[in-house]
Structure 1
């Protein structure tokens, strides 16, 4: 995708959603970290249902440690891989209490050192909580980056580096959210809904999908 097209790509997504946010529910930075850890291979909707009562009870790492692994499992047992996630959340909470004064560090390397926190999770927290220009590449962003030609790459890290290199200001902070939402609701895995995509004419994907019977493509207004 050409430089001018990339700017226009983001401009249109930004016009449609000027203030993009994560769909995970949380009340503070610590709860965000827990929610993102729990979201691996799970939907945001499912995580929000599982953490609703948990976050009413637990707001700090110390409170999570007091709740304990078994208590946490009771709250998140409806989401996938809950046993391992509970173990990691308790372990990272203990480290936050012991080494970081109960606060989530605003440092990607420090975040990645926590149990259950990989590069993607660290990037989400850095971007969402601390306003860092990071690009958390999940399956949606990996697909959108490659399918559209925005940021092609054979690996997650390659796509992340391509996004970092090619995403211009003033779109760098919001890019992560725009791309996830676009991949989740429009540029879907099996059947992208090109017929209602606001950036279809900029996208390198061929052939474009057509509207289902009874529906028509929206008129593009610049």
Structure 2
């Protein structure tokens, strides 16, 4: 199969996170309503951190401390993705071989996925979308890089994903598709750094968050295609509590 997508239908396990992330119970959760974000901690005992955690994500980034943060050294190449609509987002699963080195740690890129509007707020303002690049180090610790997305010029690097958006429960593998992962990032890699959690149940903490300061752009058509398929899928911002947010100089 060289000129069209191969469609792989998978039964949707509602509430299932990627195998790249800690396993979640199969309890049904949503973003609004009785099983919405404000009730996640009540749905299942394994979701308790959603209500009781003190380092929850996302956050509104307002007050920061300038610091000599280590550079984000992306070793991203080209990869053939599998694009999955898990009912909560569109997730792009990637083969091994793409890494992020930062502060003496090496993280393997597992997948990236989208939220609209952006879950991260900067000075009280969200962007139309955000992409979360999920990495894991040898110790099993997660490092997530958030790439904020604004409306602007169509982005050719991202277009293969938006051209093959799957229906709910569907995985798409496109034989001839190769994503240039480095081209998905902005030119400037300055970032905000803080400790947080998964932004979906079970809301596990201990996640290293790196939010890039410079956004990328997608066309209104690209953003509208995702919103039509998935709808709004952003967890509200959480209390910062005693956390420090550092900003690269």
- TM-score calculated relative to the size of structure 1: 0.25
| Structure with the higher strand share, 1 or 2 | 2
Which structure is higher in helix share? Answer: 1
TM-score, normalised with respect to structure 2:
0.23
Larger RCO (alpha carbons 8 Å, 6+ apart): 2
